[in-house]
Amino acid sequence: MPTVVASFQATARQHPRRAAVFWGDQTIRYAALEHRSRRYAVHLQQACAIQPDDRVGLLLKNCPEFIYALYAILQCGAIVVPINNFLKGPEIQHIASDCQLKCLVTAPDFDATLAAVRGPRVVQLTELESAGEPVGFTATDRALEDTAVIIYTSGTTGKPKGAVLTHGNLAANVASCVHALQETAADRMTLLLPMFHSFMLT
């Protein structure tokens, strides 16, 4: 079973002009999605020194850039930590310290929330958007048993705890949903959830 990243790359190669994401009146095609994610990945590696197994936080509202950043982090071989964008500074600090975030991808909307958060290097979307071309970039190969994502619980019965998901977990969940829903390449799915939510990864 291929990883989600490997499947994404194969689809981008085989169907570069096929629509991947509809966002308002934008149609983002697989070639553009793959290219932007590689640009982000190169910047994370070169400017932020992101290495395999580093934890990288993702604090954004729903937007296409969330998807670019998600695939960029995974292509670096790093681990994505999606953060609930309704959390306050102290709650984000707990997550940053608990999983030892190396950097945190975010947008100016959260400047006030992050003002007192210490530890991770804060990377603004504008910084990633200004990154150069991904010349010679090769995604880091990951095995199915390698950690892909750490998703924190809501913390209703104590401090939030990180649930670890592997590349195999993600791939198996996608495959089971494709089978159960009998999805085809012609289908479209509407996303109503916040992108930091675990179901978004399916």
Q: How many Å apart are CA 95 and CA 17, to the nearest integer?
A: 38
Q: How many Å apart are CA 202 and CA 198, to the nearest integer?
A: 8
pLDDT band (50, 70, 90) for residue 48:
very high
Q: Identify whether the C-beta of residue 104 lies closer than 8 Å to the C-beta of residue 56.
A: yes
Q: Is the pLDDT reported for residue 146 higher than 80?
A: yes
Half-sphere CA count of 88, side-chain side, radius 13 A: 2
Q: Is the pLDDT reported for residue 151 higher than 90?
A: yes
Read off the pLDDT of residues 119-139 as tens digits, 9 standing for 90 and up.
Answer: 999 999 999 988 888 877 888
Q: Is the pLDDT reported for residue 34 higher than 80?
A: yes
Average pLDDT over residues 88-106: 96
Read off the pLDDT of residues 180-195 as tens digits, 9 standing for 90 and up.
Answer: 999 998 999 999 999 9
Specify the pLDDT at position 202.
Answer: 80
Give the burial class of 13: count Cβ atoms within 10 A of its Cβ; 0-12 exposed, 13-18 middle, 19 or more buried.
exposed
Specify the pLDDT at position 140.
Answer: 92
Specify the pLDDT at position 25.
Answer: 95
Read off the pLDDT of residues 52-96 as tens digits, 9 standing for 90 and up.
Answer: 999 999 999 999 999 999 999 999 999 999 999 999 999 999 999
Mean pLDDT score of the chain:
93
